[in-house]
Structure 1
């Protein structure tokens, strides 16, 4: 069957589940991954074909897409901040909003001074690896409670040719980080159970709940704990960065103000939502 013809069929089969533009994007992601062909290749050569064995592969992917399995899990990878990352059911799929957090950190740390960074709840390692890749002066550490997530993150560090020191650790049970850091960054679980109805099926059914959800009655539990550790383990001029729940921006500011952090800055993401925050620890050494 001609690829152009199959493309039409593929999109039609998915329109009950996805927006046509999203279905079309899936087609070209799979095309490039499985056949090393781009949209321009199909546009320029209408005679390109899929073999019967090719179509079997595509049909099996269609079955999974109709179940709303994330395309990134089906392909086993995604792109984040210009780098390729392995993703699987043990890690969250990195979001564009998190790229904005990484961009913020990089832009604020352009000097050649040696710095030490800690990423708490690293998951796929997307934040830690991206920072290590773009801040050659940084020594980067990353913590996660999931052994399988850390295994994935280690592979991502290796494939992107950076050094990150990974630690298996439950941050809620941690009393001291043992070292001093110039930057602590975290994108911890922050979705309240009451917000589950807003979550798409492809996220709710397939991405790890351990990395997503917190109890409604204590939605800032991770932020409070990390801030407590930052008070002890950030350098005097150190910076704390968080990705946050869009509905809890003011609550986050209040939390950090009450803990005597200073220079608190709340930033919106590209969608206009309160999504990230930075502050400095207030202490004398």
Structure 2
């Protein structure tokens, strides 16, 4: 290990220059966690330290627990130092490393895309459980990183996946993820509130995790979300909490096959309202599904 590397790690923990004893992944994880302790607290510092090593250098938990030898070059130590400094300033790990986990895969994320969340994994899992067998078409509206259609394409061999987003920058990221993960998804730009669908076919599944947070809810949100996630993907006017759901429901009525299914990730405060709206528009088998935290998180319906 180069001399400068030891100096950098010494800076991490504010305890001076490191000796030559820091040779393994376990020791490095411990020093990173200690460096982040004051900013993040013990539990989060431990979790972030593990995630940082895996995302930057593919040093996984097994390597840490077995204290595998380190093989980092000087440039990687510099990268690690920069990452720790950002994390100490409360920049989210996913924005520091540029990747986020989703369904046991890593997706590229940028400031133009919403970081995939565990609740959306539950949405995808429900779609997988309810749609097995024959070839079918799926459309994701407001795709962001592309995590939903890419995952469905990779998990279901008989799926043809399509996706739209208003942001060309988000679509650039989604296409990169599809190439990186070897998924076949057709992406197109679309303003869902104004434009017609750019695809000719009808669909067996339409899914969307649209903006659903009211402006008045900003005061209750974590600063990291407000500062680093794109507001275009988050917020709706206070007087129109179902703005996107109503429009997408109308599109679904026109573009779902008979018996086709519609899936929404929702604001927990508007589950009953979303369900009632879909029933009024003629959807059947409308059901609210709670997430692992017991909150109303998904509404599914059939045409």
Q: Same fold (TM over 0.5)?
A: yes
Instruction: Give the distance between the partners of 1:7 and 1:201, measured in 2 at CA.
Output: 26
1:1-285 aligned within 5 A:
1=18, 2=22, 4=26, 6-45=28-67, 54-111=76-133, 113-175=134-196, 178-281=200-303
- Structure-2 change in CA distance of 1:262 and 1:78 (3 Å): same
Assess if the C-alpha contact under 8 Å between 1:129 and 1:157 holds in 2: yes
Structure 2: any 5+ residue segments left out of the alignment?
A: 1-17
SS of equivalent to 1:118: strand
Instruction: Give the distance between the partners of 1:170 and 1:162, measured in 2 at CA.
Output: 24
Assess if the C-alpha contact under 8 Å between 1:68 and 1:201 holds in 2: no
- Structure-2 change in CA distance of 1:229 and 1:52 (3 Å): closer
Q: Higher RCO, 1 or 2 (CA under 8 Å, sep at least 6)?
A: 1
SS of equivalent to 1:228: helix
Shift of 1:66: 2.2
1:108-161 deviation digits (Å, cap 9, x = unpaired)? 1111x2211110000000001001111121111100000010011011111111
SS of equivalent to 2:48: helix
Instruction: Give the distance between the partners of 1:92 and 1:7, measured in 2 at CA.
Output: 28
> What's the Cα RMSD here?
2.0
Instruction: Decide which moves more: 251-260 or 147-156.
Output: 251-260
TM-score by length of 1: 0.91
Assess if the C-alpha contact under 8 Å between 1:176 and 1:232 holds in 2: no
- The aligned residue for residue 10 of structure 2 is none
1:1-42 deviation digits (Å, cap 9, x = unpaired)? 425555444323323332322211211222233343334434
Q: How many residues align?
A: 280
